[in-house]
Chain A
Amino acid sequence: MKDVQMLSDERIVLSTGTLYGALKRLLEQDWIERVDDPEPNGTDRERKAYALTQTGRRILKTEVERLRKLIATARRLHAAGERT
């Protein structure tokens, strides 16, 4: 949750319910999988970690590509708008 908050410049602050609802859906879609926690947390509470699957990586790549094209189009339109 802290990572999401930090990566989004404090714009997105998740509750645990929202976070785990999203994790559940990503697991069901086979976009992420459970993995061993690479960083032991030093408490007796077991922590679980999640990582992208092959499918997840592919989806992420496609989505990044889609957004890149969208931004490029928006920039072109913006530039054309400024010229006129």
Chain B
Amino acid sequence: MSSMAHWITRVYGLLLRFAERPRQFRVEFGDEMQSVFTDAVNDAARRGLAAVLIVCAREVWELPRNVVREHWGGLQKGRVGMNDTAALYDQPSSWLGTLIGALPFLLFGPTTVLLAYPYSYPRYVALVNIYPLVMLIGLATGWRARWPRWSFPYLCVSILLCDHWIAQSVGQFVQSVVPRVFGLEQEWTMFGQFVQSLTFYVLVPAAVLMLMRTLGWLRPLYLRIRQDWTQLSFGLSVVSALMLSGVDYDEDPQLTLAVILPGVIVLSSAVAHLRSSNKIQRVLSLLLGLIVAVTVSIWRHWYYVLYGMFLAGIVFLPALLEALRPQSKTMPAE
């Protein structure tokens, strides 16, 4: 019986390890749980095989529920609160957080490419319509969980889509409506485009920043970004998946490895980013992913060099800010 108890406790140790409770939970309680379980099995072994089996069955029966609850608890808290030290931000995301954080990269990268072939517009359009819903759910969950790292792609995609829509509307207004009001016959095409760019790159981001600083329910997000700018880089890097997985229908597109691979590479770099345990690894995972993805894309067309430069600029500006900051700050209490 003692040999069996020994093997059972070893299997339990493996189960604890591979059932992948949140890492922090395992580190904090893993040894204690193993020790308490060993005592329980040894105690039951004195009462017979049936008692041992009951102890084991109880653990196995309750394991899925406990694992889900711990992971969900982790997501709810966003892994860290505002009072935590910067060191906690270096913890890798849980596998569930990684899965959720990588979803926008999967959708805007490989899924979009695969849906677009071969020229299946209706199917493509029908399925792409669920993307905003997914983004909205991710955004709401991220807000409830106080903006963990995995929520940043949802946040950035949502802001960028709104930014795009606002800028386009303002540009259109300036280009067509304003000249008519002044009784002019010609549209202000150039000026309209200038205003559109100004709105997209400066006015809307400035307004978003101001809202984050002033609105109480958005302030945790502002503090969170200030704590670690690489989160913003990660969120913005979804743009890489979007731009490098574009399908040009005018060029008789063929589904080749060079078309699908950039999206897969960007997706892999997102997973590596979420599982990294320090800032350098995080920035490097995004940077290497972008470089390799752009290199592969250049096989398709030279203009992806320009895309790469543009992406590097917008995606890595926040990471650069983080690198230039002398020391990580401890955030004030909310």
Is A17 a contact of B63 with CB atoms below 8 Å? yes
Q: Is B62 a contact partner of A15 (Cβ separation < 8 A)?
A: yes
Interface residues of B (CB under 8 A from A): 25, 28-29, 32-33, 35-38, 40, 43, 58-59, 61-63, 66-67, 69-70, 73
Q: Does the CB pair B33–A17 fall under 8 Å?
A: yes
B43 touches A20 (CB 8 A): no
A1 contacts the other chain (CB 8 A) = yes
Q: How far is the CA of A17 from the CA of B36 in the complex (A)?
A: 10
Supply 19 further A-B pairs (C-beta < 8 A) apart from A17-B33, A24-B29: A2-B43, A15-B59, A15-B63, A15-B66, A16-B33, A16-B37, A16-B59, A17-B63, A17-B66, A17-B67, A18-B66, A19-B36, A20-B32, A21-B69, A21-B70, A25-B73, A45-B35, A47-B35, A48-B32
Task: Tell whether A21 pairs with B66 under 8 Å between CB atoms, given A13-B58, A15-B59, A16-B33.
Answer: yes
* Residues on the B chain within 8 Å of A2, using CB: 43
When C-beta atoms are compared, the residue in chain A nearest to B29 turns out to be A20
- Interface residues of chain B: helix, strand, loop or mixed (majority): helix
- State how many angstroms separate the Cβ of A77 from the closest Cβ of chain B: 35
Fill in one digit per residue for A8-30: 1 if any B CB lies within 8 Å of its CB, else 0: 00000101111111011100000
Within the complex, what minimum Cβ distance (angstroms) separates B184 from chain A?
65
Number of A interface residues at 8 Å Cβ cutoff, please give it: 17
25 interchain pairs, CB-CB under 8 A: A1-B36, A1-B40, A2-B43, A13-B58, A15-B58, A15-B63, A15-B66, A16-B36, A16-B40, A16-B59, A17-B33, A17-B59, A17-B66, A18-B66, A19-B36, A20-B36, A21-B66, A21-B69, A21-B70, A23-B29, A24-B25, A25-B73, A46-B35, A47-B35, A48-B32
A46-B32 Cα distance, complex, nearest whole Å: 8
Point out which of A15, A17, A47 has the most chain B C-beta atoms below 10 A from its C-beta: A17
Chain A residues with CB under 8 A of B38: 45
Q: Closest residue of chain A to B69, judged by CB? A: A21
Interface residues of A in 25-81 (CB under 8 A from B): 25, 45-48
Minimum distance in angstroms from A8 CB to a CB of chain B: 15
In the complex, A63→B43 CA distance in Å? 33
| Bound: A77/B73 CA distance, A | 39
Chain B residues within 8 Å of A46, by CB: 35
In the bound complex, do residue B40 and residue A24 qualify as a contact, i.e. CB atoms below 8 Å apart?
no
Shortest C-beta distance, A47 to chain B (Å), equals: 7
How far apart are the CA atoms of A2 and B35 in the complex, in Å?
A: 14
Closest chain B CB from A21 CB (angstroms): 5
Q: Kindly list chain A residues whose C-beta atoms are within 8 Å of the C-beta of B35.
A: 45-47
Bound CA–CA A10/B87 (angstroms)? 43
A48 — which chain B residues lie within 8 A by C-beta? 32
Expressed in whole angstroms, the Cα–Cα distance for A48 and B38 within the complex equals 15
Q: How far is the CA of A54 from the CA of B63 in the complex (A)?
A: 32
Kindly state the separation between the CA atoms of A21 and B67 in the bound complex, as whole angstroms.
9
Q: In the assembled complex, how far is the CB of residue A11 from the closest CB belonging to chain B, in whole angstroms?
A: 14
Cα distance A19–B66 in the bound complex, in angstroms? 10
| Minimum CB–CB distance for B57 against chain A, Å | 10
Contact B33–A20 (Cβ < 8 Å): yes
Please report the C-alpha to C-alpha distance between residue A24 and residue B58 in the assembled complex, in whole angstroms. 20
Nearest first, the 6 A-B pairs at minimum CB distance are A17-B66, A15-B62, A20-B29, A16-B33, A16-B37, A15-B58
Instruction: Kindly identify which residue among A1, A13, A17, A24 contacts B28, using a CB–CB cutoff of 8 Å.
Output: A24
Give the shortest distance, in Å, between B47 (CB) and chain A (any CB).
12
Residues of B within 8 A of A15 (CB): 58-59, 61-63, 66
Q: Please indicate the chain B residues that have their CB under 8 angstroms from the CB of A19 in the complex.
A: 36
The answer for the CA separation of A19 and B58 in the assembled complex, in Å, is 12
The interface residues of chain B lying within 8 Å CB-to-CB of A17 are: 33, 59, 62-63, 66-67
